[in-house]
Chain A
């Protein structure tokens, strides 16, 4: 005979699933479920006018790294694709590094404010976080483009005569991504520093540590879970970025996100687009697993 506790547990599970069902159905229909279709499409043959022909093929996956020679059918490394991957990874890593370099002092500053003003500073970092990414991209675009604010000011002061060409370069994309993703770095760093016991600093100084040593040996190791969280939160959307490289990079400085779109548009290679999407998803999943492991390892301290 089932015990009372077992029966209660079973009832709890039934209600839990029943109440969650509408949300799960909605997400299955318009978020998670369609991902399986992308997986299937990555193994099909491209149709002549886009879409696919239902014939199994590995060309989508092969096309990520290789191109087939149109004359003799041999496979070559696809240099154009490699350039795009390399740009995506490089810019995402640089974005992560830059946002950390300026985000850590910012998070530290917020966390060490008196309790009252801390909420306000935090709110100030949260507003851009929730503000339209496109609007922020437009805003930074107005600053760096040829007739933008920086160039207008520099020409007006006579420091330069020709506008600095920043827009439509990798640098523009990098500036844009660092700008739009910075709050994603600051928020988890703040959360980690906020839990940090400031008495440890006094202990460090009492033991004659310099500020640099305290930072290196005391602060950074303890707030490491926050650093990992912030880095992943910046790296993941940077790698999949679409809007920022499209607006600031122009047509040429593509990243993976734009390359995927190209396959579903002018490229007319849906299986390749699907395979690229799956690759991006796999990389992101690995990054998130690293994050979960780091977060679990960090929790006994915090």
Chain B
């Protein structure tokens, strides 16, 4: 135990602050989850276990429609963003550096840098103009907007995976007279797949969580779960909001755990 008396990496009070931080970070979330199972009407007083807020939320057509809409948008956005991001990652890694590569990189990562409210306003104006000109009011705008801001989230894990793969297997395939397409299908794609799945999951989670851009782009009656919640809590927080939050939270944590397991092997 003598060695433990002085540890160079220990700084007094740091561990205590860190543990407090983790508690403060998680306690509100745990409370929210626990009170979503509360039988009482209050969100602060415990009245026994029940699933009634889930039943109430699910019986509400507005919630059901918003949930379906959220899933449609997130699935479409994840598919589109992952497809274009995979292509872009293949185009910008493992090849001779070319002019404009940095520009491509900056444009792809632009949604990470521009404040959401600014993009939201830009899309409100631009899509509003298209809505008036074409008369189309459908979900296409939300899907386009979500696909766009999901691109960097899909791109980064795919690119990271690609950078860790050397070209020798692909060269070997080419030496054995595989066409470029065969090489891609049979060699590159299977190796890249964990990165692609990881990217798609992040894109899905990011789309599912979006509030600001959705709030500005949606036409009337196009609420997603987060914008529905935002509208609800303007008045007072009701326990069914806790139930919806918990459901979203569970979905997010599940997807993140899979993402974590998929990307962990790389290190």
Q: Which residues does A use to contact B, with CB under 8 Å?
A: 8-9, 12-13, 15-20, 22-24, 26-35, 37-38, 41, 51, 102-103, 105-106, 108-110, 112, 119, 123-128, 130-136, 138-143, 145, 147-149, 152, 179, 182-183, 198, 201-202, 205, 211, 215, 236-237, 239-240, 242-243, 246-247, 256-257, 260-261, 264, 270, 273-274, 277-278, 280-281, 284-285, 288
> CB-CB < 8 A to B49: which residues of A?
none
CB–CB B125/A106 < 8 A: no
CB–CB B45/A270 < 8 A: no
CB–CB B121/A26 < 8 A: no
User: Is B173 part of the contact surface with A, judged by Cβ < 8 Å?
Assistant: no
User: Is B15 part of the contact surface with A, judged by Cβ < 8 Å?
Assistant: yes
Closest chain A residue to B96, Cβ basis: A12
User: Is B241 part of the contact surface with A, judged by Cβ < 8 Å?
Assistant: yes
Known: A27-B110, A28-B107, A277-B121. 14 other contacts (CB 8 A): A9-B96, A12-B96, A23-B84, A31-B110, A130-B206, A134-B209, A134-B211, A135-B229, A142-B242, A147-B44, A198-B9, A260-B117, A274-B125, A288-B113
CB–CB A106/B122 < 8 A: no
A83 CB, min distance to chain B CBs, angstroms:
19
Closest chain B residue to A178, Cβ basis: B24
> CB-CB < 8 A to A130: which residues of B?
202, 205-206, 209, 252, 256
CB–CB A27/B111 < 8 A: yes
If A27-B151, A41-B125 touch, whether A35 touches B233 (CB-CB below 8 Å) is no
> CB-CB < 8 A to B127: which residues of A?
34
User: Is B95 part of the contact surface with A, judged by Cβ < 8 Å?
Assistant: yes
User: Is B42 part of the contact surface with A, judged by Cβ < 8 Å?
Assistant: yes
Chain A interface secondary structure, helix, strand, loop or mixed?
Answer: helix
- The CB with the most chain B CB atoms within 10 A, among A20, A125, A149, A182, is that of A20
Closest chain A residue to B28, Cβ basis: A139
CB–CB B24/A179 < 8 A: yes
CB–CB A12/B114 < 8 A: no
Partner of A35, one of B11, B13, B43, B114: B114
User: Is B177 part of the contact surface with A, judged by Cβ < 8 Å?
Assistant: no
> CB-CB < 8 A to B129: which residues of A?
37
If A22-B84, A34-B122 touch, whether A27 touches B14 (CB-CB below 8 Å) is no
Partner of A242, one of B84, B87, B145, B212: B212
- The CB with the most chain B CB atoms within 10 A, among A138, A183, A261, is that of A138
Partner of A138, one of B32, B111, B125: B32
> In the docked arrangement, what's the CA distance between A34 and B111, Å?
12
Partner of B233, one of A24, A29, A141, A182: A141
> CB-CB < 8 A to B115: which residues of A?
236-237, 239-240, 257, 280-281, 284
